[in-house]
Amino acid sequence: MPELRENVRALLTLIARWCGYGSALFLAAMMFITVIDVVLRAVFNLPVTGTYDLVQLFLVGTVFLSIPDVFLRDRNIVIDFVDHVFGARVVGALKLIANILAVLFLAVLCWRMFPPALDSARFHEVSPDLSIPMTVHWVLMIFGILMTLPASAWVLIESAREISHPQGRQ
């Protein structure tokens, strides 16, 4: 059983890492196109056509592909003022509840993303300047959430294990 847990964790880490590489690539591209646009606009008065469309697409890739790693590392933004008031059992229970809600939220979010994504494809929605199909944006968003679901489920399982084995992970 511990070997299976290690293999699952390794697979999830690999998926999160590759999503992170994609996110970093989109971030670098977003910074590159922005700098090029600013320099060309300032020096030669030649703005890059479609910068807004590209930055929008790259931002979607940056954000949604970074989420699996955030969940897998359990690095979501938290406010820990309760940690100092209540004991470890209450904090563990709150963490478990938060992880249950996170998995449910991600599942519902993914499920609710499909209808507008299909509408976008059906009506051939495109970006204003470069006519990039909006389905590309939707695919990145849905892919990022789909890759986050296993990571969030893993964190949920681990938080449940921590409650059932309060002395440490076993």
For the entire predicted model, the pTM comes to: 0.91
What gap in Å lies between CA 74 and CA 137, rounded to an integer?
26
Alpha-carbon gap, residue 75 to 55, rounded angstroms = 26
Q: 119 or 87: whose pLDDT is higher?
A: 119
- Closest C-alpha among 32, 27, 26 to residue 40: 32
Distance CA 154, CA 12 (A): 9
Residue 2 has pLDDT above 80, yes or no: yes
**Per-chain mean pLDDT for the chain:** 94
Name the band, by pLDDT with cuts 50, 70 and 90, for residue 169.
Answer: very low
Token pair in block for residue 73? 């590392």
Q: Could you tell me the CA-to-CA distances from 111 to 105, 142, 145 in Å, in that order?
A: 10, 9, 10
